[in-house]
Amino acid sequence: MNGEAGPPALGNFIRRLPKTETHLHIEGALPYELLRTLDPGRFTGDPPFWAPDYRYETFEQFEGILLDHAILWFTSAERYHEAARVIFEGLLAQNVRYLETSFHLGIVEFTGIPGPEIIRAIKSAVPPGMVVRVFTGMLRRNYTEVMAPVIDELHTWEELDGIDLHGVEVWELEPWTPPVWKRLREAGKETKAHAGEFGGPENVREALDLLGVRRIQHGVRAAEDEDLLRRLADEGVVLDICPISNVKLRVVPGLDRHPIRTFLERGIRCTVSTDDPFSFGNRLEDEYLGLAREAGFDHHLLARVARNGFEAGTMPAELRRSCLAEIDALERAADEGR
């Protein structure tokens, strides 16, 4: 799914458009070239799962491949810094001005790296011209004897910007989870949850009602429930959608069948991000180009998606104003054929 596509004027519009990434797993964005520095003989060429027609058979297969590679690199705070530096440079080259990325909290137990050190390492790699918010994400079963004390202290991590619920959506939501989300929100942190990817519409309702989130990661299967669609629009809930991920994980059959257009037409605020580019071989520009080429998005819809990211993110007011003004100017210029 990489490469140029669509009318040249639209491709130029996408390149110039200020953008956000609001759904990016930092371990899932591991630059493949860093693995090549570890073992040039093993990591040669592009991996097979980057092929445009590649589809993962199961979510477990996807998780396994990603984990097998990520654990080779993410062994220290310094490695997080180096990966973040390369990731951020690539995003800045695509005119990404604002990023929300998450690291998996389980890495704290697996490697022994303290979470605050990971956050500082990531933030120390932020280049001029970009604002980055760092979240931590945890699984529904992460509240173990070892991890419970860590989770109970998350609200005290000053540099942590928010939390997210990762992993298998069909696992039952355990009683510890809502109080943690409430405590983090009361501490001024942003709260999110993955829902409505493999779990159905009821999974989205659970995130809204029990966790109190207004930022849903994916939310694609909300399209199956008319009442839920109305609620998402009425309550201003944001869906941070990753279209190419949804295709490669078989959540939807293709970009031409993706419900993101329906969501936007119904007044639901959607952003577009890459999710796990290590696993999908995608860049943010590929997401926009794919929506243009396969889902028929014109420059107005693409501008709306970009605008939604700046309206949803927790960025400085001046950055939001300037980027929205730039998007408006680009949209007017495209209308006038300039």
Active site residue 21: no
* CA 152 – CA 276 distance, rounded (Å): 27
Tokens of 319: 């950055």
**What HEC string does the chain produce?**
CCCCCCCHHHHHHHHHCCEEEEEEECHHHCCHHHHHHHCCCCCCCCCHHHCCCCCCCCHHHHHHHHHHHHHHHCCCHHHHHHHHHHHHHHHHCCCEEEEEEEEECHHHHHHCCCHHHHHHHHHCCCCCCCEEEEEEEECCCCCCCCCHHHHHCHHHCCCCCEEEECCCCCCCCCCCHHHHHHHHHHCCCEECEEECCCCCHHHHHHHHHCCCCCEEEECHHHHHCHHHHHHHHHCCCEEEECHHHHHHCCCCCCHHHCCHHHHHHCCCEEEECCECHHHHCCCHHHHHHHHHHHHCCCHHHHHHHHHHHHHHCCCCHHHHHHHHHHHHHHHHHHHCCC
HSE-CB of 218 using CA atoms within 13 angstroms:
28
Asked whether 155 and 183 are in contact (CB, 8 A), the reply is yes
Cα dist. 175→178, 179, 206, 215 in Å? Answer: 7, 8, 12, 21
Residue of 21, 197, 285, 287 with catalytic role: 197
* CA 267 – CA 337 distance, rounded (Å): 27
**From the CA atom positions of the chain, what is the Rg in Å?**
19
Active-site residue set:
197
